[in-house]
Structure 1
Amino acid sequence: MSIPSPELAVGDPLPPLSLKDQDGREIKLSKFRGRPLILYFYPANETPGCTKQACSFRDSYEDYRKLGATVVGVSGDSPESHKAFKAKYNLPYTLLSDEGNKVRKAFGVPADFFGALAGRQTYVVNRQGIITLIYNNQFQPEKHVPETLKVLQA
């Protein structure tokens, strides 16, 4: 996995990377090229804000599908934890495991509370693989959905 440093910005290409999904399969983000991608980083499964965010993406999933977009969530949780979280909340999209938070750090997702809390940041990537929006809002996780839908609809 080759990720530029120190962080990604709007206009940058999405780096080629591969992470394990909730079923333990290696997933390359390049497989989503050709359609918009919503890649959201969240702190952890089963926390109140993260559950609210995941369910917000779930509840708007059809809106994303109609716009041809794919939603993918990323956290440092294990594939097994993702599998249970996905099943419990009936999440229709892929969850990727960034154990050790290497990708999160390389992307430049800021941490909160002096680094004690992993950040919550969403990237909108266009059909060509270019980042068109970076949205960060740690404390209003449900806001990530309307912000990303606005960009896709524009």
Structure 2
Amino acid sequence: MMRRTPLASTLGVALAALALAAGCNEPAGAPGGAAEKPAETGASSAAQPAALKPGDAAPDVTLTLHDGKEVKLSSLQGKQVLVYFYPKDDTPGCTVQAKGLRDGWADLQGAGLDVYGVSTQDAQSHQAFIQKYELPFPLVVDADGAVARAFHVPLRNDVATRQSFLIGKDGKIKQVWLEVDPKEHTAAILAAAKS
């Protein structure tokens, strides 16, 4: 029987931490990153329900916002809605993505979009993130991962993967991004919203 050396144990912990951090720290398109592209239909995993696809009804979940308000997703029918999942508040990739949405806010509003960011951090973390970067849109507290599961978004170590869903005025999924480039995402959302 082999004994684990302290170095091997330390290396294992470090690799696990790097894998977790990569969700928000490694920009897509970098080596090992993923270029932004809409979801392809038919892709599924044995451990994860099949991804939602364009034409599917959006899950009718209740979103609990950072300020304690609740919004039932079905109450937004008649508007285009972006529900985007991100790993963690105030980390490099997630900050780039949020700031891109903030900087494109006038165009997003012009396209008639409501935006909701979703992660598993608590209301206090979300509020600090909003204040620090002057985000004009609400963040959803999904501490138990129920909203992520409703959208079939994988959780890794209780952290959501970066995926986005554009919901049309009819309440159906209009576009899905299973791989998101934080730097380019706002432009891709706007193009899809205008189509």
TM-score bracket relative to the smaller structure: 0.7 to 0.9
Distance (whole Å) between structure 2 residues aligned to residue 31 and residue 94 of structure 1: 16
1:36 and 1:70 in contact (8 A); partners too: yes
Number of aligned positions between the proteins: 146
What is the CA–CA distance in structure 1 between the aligned matches of 2:183 and 2:164, rounded to whole Å?
11
Shift of 1:70: 0.9
Which residue number in structure 1 is paired with residue 170 of structure 2?
Answer: 128
Aligned partner of 1:95 in structure 2 is: 139
**Residue identity opposite 2:174 in structure 1:** T
Extract unaligned runs of 5+ from structure 2. Answer: 1-48
Secondary structure of the corresponding residue to residue 50 of structure 1? helix
Are 2:60 and 1:16 equivalent residues in the alignment?
Answer: yes
Q: Which string of whole-angstrom CA distances, capped at 9 and with x for unpartnered residues, describes residues 120-140 of structure 1?
A: 0110111111101101225x2
Q: In structure 1, how many angstroms separate the alpha carbons of the residues matched to 2:72 and 2:79?
A: 14
Give the structure 2 partner of residue 149 of structure 1: 190
After TM superposition, the score normalised by the length of structure 2 is 0.69
- What displacement does 1:33 show? 1.4
What's the counterpart of residue 46 of structure 1? 90
Of stretches 129-138 and 6-15 in structure 1, the one that deviates more from structure 2 is 6-15
CA RMSD, Structure 1 to Structure 2 (Å): 1.6
What CA distance in whole angstroms lies between the structure 2 residues aligned with 1:28 and 1:82? 19
Secondary structure of 1:141's aligned partner: coil
- Supply the distance in 1 between the matched residues of 2:60 and 2:77 (Cα, whole angstroms): 11
Q: Is the 8 A contact 2:61 2:150 kept in 1?
A: no
Q: Say whether the 8 Å CA contact 2:63–2:147 is kept in structure 1.
A: no
Q: Does 1:82 align with 2:112?
A: no
In the TM superposition, what is the alpha-carbon distance from 1:149 to its structure 2 partner?
0.8
Verify: 1:26 aligned to 2:67, yes or no: no
Identity %: 37
Is the contact between residue 6 and residue 107 of structure 1 (CA under 8 Å) also seen in structure 2?
no
Aligned partner letter, 1:39: V
Q: Shift in Å at residue 145 of structure 1?
A: 1.1
Instruction: State the Cα distance separating 1:6 from its structure 2 match.
Output: 5.0
Q: Which amino acid aligns with 1:65?
A: Q
Q: CA deviation at 1:110?
A: 3.7
Q: How far apart, CA to CA, are the structure 1 residues paired with 2:184 and 2:160?
A: 18
Q: Tell whether the 8 Å contact from 1:42 to 1:73 is kept in structure 2 after alignment.
A: yes
Q: Any conservation in 1 of the 2:120–2:160 contact (CA below 8 Å)?
A: no
Report the AA paired with residue 179 of structure 2: N
Write the deviation string for residues 63-90 of structure 1: whole angstroms up to 9, x where unpaired.
0111111111111111121111111110
Whole-angstrom distance in 2 between the partners of 1:89 and 1:31: 28
Aligned 8 A contact 1:137 1:144 in 2: no
